[in-house]
A and B are shown apart, each in its own frame.
Chain A
């Protein structure tokens, strides 16, 4: 395991393979946590994946030797390199909420988790991806709560999902400490 290089991106994994595993995960979680909300279970399940993804994506980043010290940079990093690592493309859109300063949205037109799942069924399987984002943000010390929403304004892409990212107070304070000192 240690002998192999990790700097080169691995070949892609079959969509069918992923979908099969994902459906098993879904069934396992729905059987095990009956009292819990399935979206929340998916988020919790994906959380540790986020930390790994963060380490790997940062390792492969060109800006090696730098760390991210503000929230917007981290979000761009998630939208770009992290999304590319996971799905082979960039996320569609990143925007800040007009009402709250600590709320951001990342938009993906067709999340891979929703490809073969029945959407519009009140359960959004992209919660899995939300969990990964949450894991990334929490381990980079900007704790946040990520909630998936179906984007309603799009008729063409029915799976289109908005990830609502709400940072905790601690994250904002942490960012302020960074910029204040430098």
Chain B
């Protein structure tokens, strides 16, 4: 599962990754992601990197986190360990999309991202980087 969390932990966007996106586990995934936010807060004070790598684990899945300039958190919960550098590239491409969204004058910062174009681009990205899940 992929989630973008804005200021004051307000959820901006979420996406279930993989074929069985809407199964029962999606509630659990959401719960895990939101509970990892505390770890993100602790970890982001210790480093000046944008990519925080692993922040939390739950059973077999891991939460990864990436921060944008305004400390908007991009969180990814995924089963496979996989290659770390490819995740870094994935996050920076997603960051790219996020910056483009925020430059849209019709989008108010820190509100839900509700654009079909954004949605389909993100789906394309996840398919490209996490093809094993599809």
Write the residues of chain A forming the contact surface with B, with a CB cutoff of 8 angstroms: 1-2, 4, 6, 48, 51-52, 54-59, 64-69, 139-141, 177-178, 181-182
Q: A55–B68 contact, CB under 8 A?
A: yes
- Give the Cβ gap from B88 to chain A, nearest Cβ, in Å: 9
With a cutoff of 8 Å between Cβ atoms, the chain A residues found around residue B25 in the complex are none
A-B contact count (CB 8 A): 74
Contact A68 B71 (CB under 8 A): no
Chain A hits for B51, CB < 8 A:
65
B97 in the interface (beta carbon within 8 A) = yes
CA distance A56 to B96 in the complex (A): 10
Which residues of the other chain, A, contact B28 by a CB distance below 8 angstroms? none
Provided the pairs A48-B109, A65-B50, A66-B50 are in contact, do residues A55 and B121 lie with their beta carbons within 8 angstroms?
Answer: no
**Does B102 reach chain A (CB closer than 8 Å)?**
yes
> In chain B, residues 5-46, which have Cβ atoms closer than 8 Å to a Cβ of chain A?
7, 44-46
Decide yes or no: A6 and B103 within 8 Å by CB, A67-B48, A178-B45 being known contacts: yes
- Please report the C-alpha to C-alpha distance between residue A67 and residue B26 in the assembled complex, in whole angstroms: 31
On chain B, the residues within 8 Å of A177 by CB distance are 45
What residues of B have a CB within 8 angstroms of the CB of A56 in the complex? Answer: 99, 103
Chain B's closest residue to A5 (CB) is B96
Q: Decide: A139 and B67 in contact? CB cutoff 8 A.
A: no
- Find residues 66-98 in chain B having any chain A CB closer than 8 Å to their own CB: 67-71, 92, 95-98
Within the complex, what minimum Cβ distance (angstroms) separates A140 from chain B?
6
**With A1-B117, A65-B51, A69-B48: A6-B71 Cβ-Cβ less than 8 Å:** no
Determine the chain B residues whose CB is within 8 A of the CB of A68 once the complex forms: 48
Cα A9 to Cα B120 in complex, Å, equals: 26
**For the complex, what is the distance from the CA of A33 to the CA of B90, rounded to whole Å?**
45
